[in-house]
């Protein structure tokens, strides 16, 4: 990715059974000053459960929405190459899926909700990149 992004990783998924607010926390992979920047993204229960299931290596008996999308990407001759969280506007994060053609190597980007992008990314173990501008607004040291 370009110099305006930072590689992050999923550091935890928080599911609160008594509340509607669930979140994932992203942490900087290679912090410049030794202290990784982190930030949470609020997501829905379905996406939180899908991410947690993938991180635990559980495969559902029947394909869920994220598995369906993964199968569609694969059947069209592409693979998920990266997840990019590129914007934070009005307290809403915006992401893109970077798909790479297995035949030509060309990349295409598809708009996505971050929660869906992270669920797919966790399933395929692809890098997560966050724009520096998003980190500057949402990041915290910890």
Question: What's the half-sphere exposure (Cβ side, CA atoms, 13 Å) at 45?
Answer: 5
Give the pLDDT confidence score for residue 78 in this predicted structure: 98
pLDDT, tens digit, 9 for 90 and up, residues 21-49:
788 999 999 988 888 999 999 888 888 88
pLDDT number for residue 46: 82
Task: Please say whether the beta carbons of 85 and 93 come within 8 A.
Answer: yes
Q: What is the CATH number of the domain that holds 109?
A: 3.10.690.10
pLDDT of residue 140: 60
* CA–CA gap between residue 142 and residue 140 (Å, rounded): 6
Report pTM.
Answer: 0.88
Q: How many residues does the chain have?
A: 142
User: What is the Cα–Cα distance from 108 to 27, expressed in whole angstroms?
Assistant: 26
Half-sphere exposure of 135 (CA within 13 A, CB side): 20
Return the sign of the alpha-carbon dihedral for residues 92, 87, 24, 98: positive
Report how far residue 66's alpha carbon sits from residue 8's, in angstroms, rounded to the nearest whole number. Answer: 21
Q: Residue 3: its pLDDT value, please? A: 61
106 vs 125, more confident: 106
Whether residue 139 is predicted with pLDDT greater than 70 in this model: the reply is: no
pLDDT exceeding 90 applies to what percent of the chain? 54
The three-state (H, E, C) secondary structure of 50-62, written as one string: HHHHHHCCCCCCC
Higher pLDDT, 69 or 20: 69
Residue 136: which domain range? 5-141
Beta strands 128-131 and 140-141 are unpaired
Per the structure, how many domains does the chain have?
A: 1
């Amino acid at each position: 990715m370009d110099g305006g992004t930072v590689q992050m990783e999923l550091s935890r998924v928080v599911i609160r059974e008594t509340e509607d607010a669930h979140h994932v926390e992203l942490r900087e992979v290679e912090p410049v000053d030794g202290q990784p920047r982190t930030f949470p993204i609020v997501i829905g229960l379905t996406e939180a459960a899908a991410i947690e299931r993938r991180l635990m290596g559980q495969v559902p008996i029947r394909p869920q929405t994220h598995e369906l999308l993964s199968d569609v990407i694969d059947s069209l001759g592409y693979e998920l190459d990266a997840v990019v969280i590129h914007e934070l506007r009005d307290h809403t994060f915006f992401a893109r899926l970077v798909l790479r053609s297995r035949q030509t190597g060309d990349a295409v980007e598809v708009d996505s909700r971050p929660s869906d992008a992270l669920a797919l990314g966790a399933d395929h173990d692809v890098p997560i990149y966050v724009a520096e501008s998003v980190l500057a607004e949402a990041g915290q040291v910890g």
